[in-house]
Amino acid sequence: MTNPHDPYGQQQPSGQFQQPYGLQPYQPQQQYYVQQPYVRPPDQGMAVASLVCSLIGLIMCFPAILGIVFGHIALSKAKRGEAGGQGMAQAGMIIGYVVTGLWLIPVILWFVFVVFAIGAAGVS
């Protein structure tokens, strides 16, 4: 026997109920979760370089000057929001200035001594 609601003429086994056309069986809705993009923490490379160079400047003079330069670059990036480590950049700059000043004191004293030595040698 054919079902008058079945357009294809397929027979249903007895005991099964066929859904009317307008109704669909319950299908749970799929939920889609939008994953938030991973926000990379700001780079602190310049700030770290500033602090490290300034501390190495205690042994040698030249890295302290690099620490000052890196500190200014890192501080400007941190203020613009492009990088982190504002405090580390400030610390690197301050230490760099102090270390450079401490290295300049003996250089200035040596220069004054040489000028006086040349002046004293020329008087004779």
Q: Is the pLDDT of residue 95 over 90?
A: yes
Mean pLDDT over 32-51 rounds to: 82
Mean pLDDT of the chain: 82
What's the confidence (pLDDT) of residue 14?
57
Query: Between residues 91 and 119, which one has the greater pLDDT?
Result: 91
pLDDT tens for each residue of 104-115: 999 999 999 999
Long-range (24+ apart) CB contacts under 8 A made by 63-71 are 64/95, 64/96, 64/99, 64/100, 64/103, 65/96, 65/100, 66/96, 67/92, 67/93, 67/95, 67/96, 67/99, 68/92, 68/93, 68/96, 68/97, 68/100, 70/46, 71/46, 71/47, 71/96
C-alpha 103: how far from its chain's center? 32
Phi, psi of 80 (to 5 degrees): -80, -10
Q: Is the pLDDT of residue 66 over 70?
A: yes
Q: Is the pLDDT of residue 41 over 60?
A: yes
Least confident span in 26-40, 55-69, 94-108, 109-123: 26-40
What's the confidence (pLDDT) of residue 67?
96
CB-based contact 49:32 (threshold 8 Å): no
Query: Between residues 15 and 50, which one has the greater pLDDT?
Result: 50
